[in-house]
Amino acid sequence: MFRYLIILIFLFVGCQRGPSLPLGIPPLTVCKITVTQNGEPLDGATLSLNTVAGTENWRVVGITDTNGVVVPSTNGLFEGVLQGKYKIVVSKKEQDASKLPPSPAMGEPGYEEWLNKYGDKIEKLNTYFLVEKQYTSASTTPHEIDVSGKKRIETAIDVGKKVREKM
């Protein structure tokens, strides 16, 4: 009986992997990128990698954690990046939500009611860029990463001074 329980545990754990790579996608390289702003970790920023060649077959994005660290995923499902040279684009925005009551988390009780009551007001709130504009576009960012055949790449970038520019 104990032997069958062990086998079931191994089968269950083995089935908990993420989705397998689709046909036609080469192996991915895990990239750990630390993003700072004026030397301090930038949390909650969106990071995307745009190919220098301009051939975007796969979307590569991630969100920085409280330490400014992000491990981008391909198509939001597969941890890692295809080989190639990329421009690193970083953006972060905020809305002046202080004029609204706090929103329950999506899926939590009261969220739909809050969204129905305040959803139309969200669009009217002032929105601000929190990263200098040069870092928010592939055509102007100075940051690049060359993803080679390594299994893991770690790098760090800084996105300049703190800003709060109205959109």
CA angle 136, 138, 141 (to 5 degrees): 65
Report the CATH fold assignment for 26-92+132-161: Immunoglobulin-like (2.60.40)
Q: Residue 62's closest CA among 82, 77, 41, 51?
A: 77
Q: Are strands 84-91 and 46-51 parallel, antiparallel or unpaired?
A: antiparallel
Task: Please state the pTM of the whole predicted model.
Answer: 0.75
* Residue 8 clears pLDDT 50, i.e. is over it: no
Predicted local distance difference test score (pLDDT) of residue 21: 67
- The string of pLDDT tens digits covering residues 15-62 is 444 557 665 677 889 999 999 999 999 999 999 999 988 766 778 999
User: Looking up tokens 């992997």, which residue turns up?
Assistant: 17
Nearest to 103 by CA among 123, 119, 92: 119
Q: Please tell me the predicted confidence (pLDDT) of residue 15.
A: 47
Give the pLDDT of residue 50: 93
Q: Who has greater pLDDT, 6 or 105?
A: 105
For residue 18, the model assigns a pLDDT of: 53
Where does the pLDDT of residue 11 fall: very low under 50, low under 70, confident under 90, or very high at 90 and above?
very low
Residue 127 to residue 122: CA distance in whole angstroms:
10
Coil, strand or helix at 23 = coil
Residue 7 has pLDDT above 50, yes or no: no
- pLDDT recorded at residue 158: 97
pLDDT of residue 9: 44
Record the tokens describing residue 14, joined without a space.
């083995």
- pLDDT (0 to 100) of residue 122: 77
141 CB neighbour count, 10 Å cutoff:
19
Please work out, in degrees rounded to the nearest 5, the angle formed at the alpha carbon of residue 111 by the alpha carbons of 121 and 65.
Answer: 90
> Which residue, chain included where needed, has tokens 């988390």?
105
Q: Which helix (H) or strand (E) is 78 found in, with range?
A: strand 78-79
Beta carbons of 50 and 86 less than 8 angstroms apart: yes
Task: Enumerate the domain spans of the chain.
Answer: 26-92+132-161, 93-129
Q: What is the pLDDT of residue 134?
A: 96
- pLDDT tens digit string along 105-153? 878 888 889 888 888 877 778 888 999 999 999 999 999 999 987 789 9
